[in-house]
Amino acid sequence: MSDYSALFRRNLGLVSESEQEKLQSSRVAVAGLGGVGGIHLVTLARMGIGRFNLADLDTFGEVNMNRQYGANARTIGRPKVEVMAEVVRDINPDVDLRLYTNGVQPDNVEEFLGDADAVVDSIDYFAIKARILLYKTARRMGKTVFFSAPIGHSGTLHVFTPESMSFFDYYDIREDMAPFDQLVAFSIGLTPKGTHWKYMDLSRVDLNSHAGPSLASACDISAGLLTTEVFTHLLSRRPLRAAPQFMQFDPYRGLFRQGRLPFGNKGPLQRLKRWIVARKFQDQAAEFNRQMTGKP
């Protein structure tokens, strides 16, 4: 049995002893353990959070090596949940973990969220169906969900509380929309100020192979933004920066952008952006919809 107070003593001064005990007893549900999910998890574990629910159905591959925390030569082909559980136990041997090796599914989502004090959405960017399930259930169960996307050289931050604008209202997403239209709306709502547009090569985005440009440094930035907000929430330090508020930090361009979208993606400028992006990727829409729905 490890000495928790010794492991996390250097946190003191930024947290009090009683706050560190609060973190030890807190449970965070992390959905997805890939690009950002792995580093979110490790950062929260090093903050001293003592309980996690972890969900992912994927294995590590060579394509993950450029950015995913758990990807290395020894973990190729291994389940991400198992690898990241080992990483966290090496940090805190007494951590309480519950593992969901088939990811977030309709038959386990309520259990996955049930006793969580905070929920981290790090589901694969293109897995819009699983993301909708997570937010719909979290809203119904009164859970706060935190999300950060590594976009270009930047990181974003979005928070959805039970009282804030909902995921569906902010992104203007409906369950009966085609998956392509849902993904476009999601993408545009992430970055209302779009600091990355000037340098990102969009020709490298392939919806049908679920691939796009990504860097480890952006995942690090995302983790700093998201885990700080989770920390703030668990310790009730200040009000959360919840939707319709948004944030994007881009150190490459030296830009920090934050603001509010009072109408979410329903505003005229956001609608125009959605139309432009949809046109740009229209040649990939039919195949993406077919993949996501299984319908010809």
Q: How confident is the model at residue 294 (pLDDT cuts 50, 70, 90)?
A: confident
144 against 295, higher pLDDT: 144
Reduced DSSP (H G I as helix, E B as strand, rest coil) percent helix, strand, coil of the chain, to 5: 45, 15, 40
Q: What's the mean pLDDT when you consider all of the chain?
A: 96
Which CATH number covers residue 131?
A: 3.40.50.720
What does the pLDDT read at residue 126?
Answer: 94
Q: Once rounded to an integer, what is the mean pLDDT over residues 272-287?
A: 96
What does the pLDDT read at residue 296?
Answer: 72
Question: If phi over 0 gives left and psi between -120 and 50 gives alpha, with beta otherwise, what is residue 32?
Answer: left
Q: Please report whether residue 147 resides in a domain.
A: yes
Q: ∠ CA 44-82-63 to the nearest 5 degrees? A: 90
Tokens of residue 84, six digits:
């990241």
Q: Would you say residue 230 has pLDDT above 90?
A: yes
Q: Would you say residue 95 has pLDDT above 90?
A: yes
Q: Once rounded to an integer, what is the mean pLDDT over residues 69-98?
A: 97
Q: Would you say residue 266 has pLDDT above 90?
A: yes
pLDDT in tens, 162-216: 999 999 999 999 999 999 999 999 999 999 999 999 999 999 999 988 999 999 9
Task: Specify the number of domains making up the chain.
Answer: 1
Tokens of residue 36, six digits:
């950002």
What does the pLDDT read at residue 200?
Answer: 94
- The pTM for the full model equals 0.96
pLDDT in tens, 102-156: 999 999 999 999 999 999 999 999 999 999 999 999 999 999 999 999 999 999 9
Q: Would you say residue 267 has pLDDT above 90?
A: yes
Q: Please report whether residue 89 resides in a domain.
A: yes
Domain range for 160 is: 4-172+213-264
Q: Please report whether residue 294 resides in a domain.
A: no
What does the pLDDT read at residue 185?
Answer: 97
Name the DSSP class of 205.
Answer: -
Q: Please report whether residue 15 resides in a domain.
A: yes
Q: Would you say residue 1 has pLDDT above 80?
A: no
Say how far apart CA 37 and CA 123 lie, in whole Å: 8
Q: Please report whether residue 30 resides in a domain.
A: yes
Q: Please report whether residue 95 resides in a domain.
A: yes
Say how far apart CA 75 and CA 247 lie, in whole Å: 33
Q: ∠ CA 265-180-164 to the nearest 5 degrees? A: 30
Say how far apart CA 133 and CA 128 lie, in whole Å: 9
pLDDT in tens, 12-38: 999 999 999 999 999 999 999 999 999
